[in-house]
């Protein structure tokens, strides 16, 4: 999911995603504390048969990073899922963190975020 913005207006469209992420965080906190789903909760959940781990493509940012807490300066990276991008405001928010946007790659005009 990503939302391009170019001004400082409120962003009510984020409501459903905020609610979904809040629910995910609540579940993760329970699991972190050792409170895993029980039989009653699993009986209400959809069942997936013949399952396997799969990968899917998501929109992210790629570039050279500086000031990252765990990645050395000057390293090429691909971020986690891109949620908000506001080039005219100088920032992007990925699933994991906030990024200040520096110069744009000269071939990146595919996405028009004006």
Q: What integer pLDDT is reported at residue 62 of this predicted model?
A: 92
23: DSSP letter: H
Q: Is there a domain that residue 74 lies in? A: yes
Q: What integer pLDDT is reported at residue 108 of this predicted model?
A: 62
Q: What integer pLDDT is reported at residue 112 of this predicted model?
A: 55
- For residue 51, the enclosing domain spans 3-100
Q: Is there a domain that residue 83 lies in? A: yes
**Spatial separation of the C-alpha atoms in residues 85 and 106, rounded to whole Å:** 17
Average pLDDT of adjacent 10-residue blocks, the chain of 114 residues? 78 90 93 92 87 84 92 92 89 91 78 52
Q: Is there a domain that residue 35 lies in? A: yes
Q: How many domains does the chain have?
A: 1
Q: Is there a domain that residue 15 lies in? A: yes
């Amino acid at each position: 999911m990503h939302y391009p913005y170019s001004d400082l207006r409120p962003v009510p469209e984020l409501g459903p995603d905020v609610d979904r992420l809040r629910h995910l965080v609540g579940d993760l906190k329970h699991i972190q504390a050792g409170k895993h789903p029980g039989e009653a909760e699993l009986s209400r959940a959809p069942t997936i048969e013949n399952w396997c781990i799969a990968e899917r493509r998501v929109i992210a940012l790629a570039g050279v990073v500086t000031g990252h807490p765990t990645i050395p300066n000057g390293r090429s990276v691909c971020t986690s899922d891109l949620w908000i991008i506001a080039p005219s405001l100088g920032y992007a928010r990925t699933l994991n963190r906030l990024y200040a946007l520096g110069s744009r790659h000269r071939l990146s005009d595919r996405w028009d975020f004006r």
